[in-house]
Amino acid sequence: MSDTVFKRMKDLPSTHLLGSGTPMCAGCGGLDALQEIYDVLGSRTVFVNAAGCMTLLSVYPFTPFRGSWLYTAMASAPAGAQGVRDGLDILLEQKRITAGENLDVVVLTGDGAAYGMGLSATSGAIERNLDFIYICYDNEGYGNTGQQFSAATPHAARTATSRGPHGFGGYKKDLFAIWAAHKPAYVATVIGSDPLDLARKIETAKQLKGPRLIIALAPCPTGWDYDPRESIDIGKLAVKTGVWPLKEYIDGKVVHTKIPRQRLPVEQYLEKQGRFAHLFTPERDDTLLQELQAQVDRYWADVKV
């Protein structure tokens, strides 16, 4: 992480969820998506959270949510969700709560937990057909600890642990496909900058039973190194360049909910972010830029419309 990023982080004004006194970075795309998701989910929700930026929303005994909040170890949120669901089911069976008092169990984690550390617990929970929604806000790195690379970091992005001339050498894991391979009830990608698409998908997820995943790309001014005012534009560019396909898996089929028919060049998305600055200065890295564009082109060439 560069000194500029830290300086910017220090100078940022704070924003709050539902009156919480907990400071988050201005322009946080994860918080933006969470606000929109929470609007649809409503207060009859128990959040089960693994360590990450959103953990800072709830500082015992306070939470900005109207519902409940349970904090778990990083790899264990789906196991925690199992315990909460089982507890609610027992209360229902014993008629100690009514169906109207039942709660939705919602795992909320970053990509570090969802794509990596918690994947084994997630796979087990899906196999057990656990009735839960998993929300992953994907800021493509371990944001809370200074943006080290995670299994969701895109190729060539600079992170605190991939500072070399070509950035991160690995490739972003396809969490959507990993979940879909388990044949769960629902999987969807969303982004806060497209609130209508997001709201419809959360409504759909809410109506279903069983394991359901929502992955929200979360533009992160602090970790991606850009001005917080650009968050919405960067989110829109992620969709318009085809970098972040908006899609859902339901009834065994994958459907793209927004198809960018005239895709913008990927570099319009990359050039706005300091984490990709080495692709443009001190001189253009045409090889890497072409590779990144080709990766996106290959994806869309396989999409049947």
Ligand X SMILES: Cc1ncc(C[n+]2csc(CCOP(=O)(O)OP(=O)(O)O)c2C)c(N)n1
Segment interacting with ligand SF4 (CB under 6 A) among 22-30, 121-129, 170-178, 202-210: 22-30
The Cα–Cα gap between 136 and 125 comes to 15
User: Interface with Mg ion includes 159 (CB under 5 A)?
Assistant: no
For the CB of residue 116, give the shortest distance to ligand SF4 in the complex, in Å: 16
Among the residues of the chain, which ranges form H helices? 3-11, 29-41, 77-93, 111, 119-127, 175-181, 195-207, 221-224, 231-240, 267-270, 286-301
- Amino acid identity for residue 21 in this structure: G
Q: Of 1, 5, 17, 24, which one interacts with ligand SF4 (CB under 6 A)?
A: 24
For the CB of residue 141, give the shortest distance to ligand X in the complex, in Å: 6
The structure tokens listed for 183 are 């044949």
Residue 237 CA to its chain's centroid (Å)? 17
Q: Of 17, 81, 108, 218, which one interacts with ligand SF4 (CB under 6 A)?
A: 218
User: Interface with ligand SF4 includes 193 (CB under 6 A)?
Assistant: no
- Closest CB to ligand SF4 among 28 and 117? 28
> CA nearest 190: which of 13, 56, 57, 35?
35
The partner in contact with residue 222, picked from ligand X, Mg ion, ligand SF4, none with C-beta cut-offs of 5 to 8 angstroms by kind, is: ligand SF4
Q: Of 49, 139, 189, 231, which one interacts with Mg ion (CB under 5 A)?
A: 139
Q: Is 82 exposed, middle or buried (0-12, 13-18, 19+ CB in 10 A)?
A: buried
User: Interface with Mg ion includes 115 (CB under 5 A)?
Assistant: no
Q: Of 78, 116, 118, 223, which one interacts with ligand SF4 (CB under 6 A)?
A: 223
- Judged by CB under 6 A, the chain residues 128 through 147 that form the site for ligand SF4 are 139, 143
- Closest CB to ligand SF4 among 80 and 143? 143
For the CB of residue 113, give the shortest distance to Mg ion in the complex, in Å: 8
- Amino acid identity for residue 29 in this structure: G
CA of 202: how far to CAs of 43, 130, 248, in Å?
14, 18, 11
Beta-ladder partners of 186:
212, 250
Q: Of 32, 104, 111, 248, which one interacts with Mg ion (CB under 5 A)?
A: 111
- Judged by CB under 6 A, the chain residues 30 through 69 that form the site for ligand X are 51-53
Buried/exposed code over 268-299 (b: 16+ C-beta within 10 A; e: otherwise) = ebbebbbbbbbbeeeeebeebbeebbebbeee
CB 128 within 8 A of CB 69: no
For the CB of residue 154, give the shortest distance to Mg ion in the complex, in Å: 12
Cβ neighbours of residue 49 closer than 8 Å, sequence gap 6 or more: 55, 58, 69, 70, 71, 72, 77, 107, 108, 109
The partner in contact with residue 24, picked from ligand X, Mg ion, ligand SF4, none with C-beta cut-offs of 5 to 8 angstroms by kind, is: ligand SF4
User: Interface with ligand SF4 includes 274 (CB under 6 A)?
Assistant: no
List of residues contacting Mg ion (CB under 5 A): 110-112, 139, 143
Binding positions for ligand SF4, rule: CB under 6 A: 24-25, 28, 30-31, 53, 139, 143, 218, 220-223
Residue ranges binding ligand X (CB under 6 A): 51-53, 74, 109-113, 139, 142-145, 150
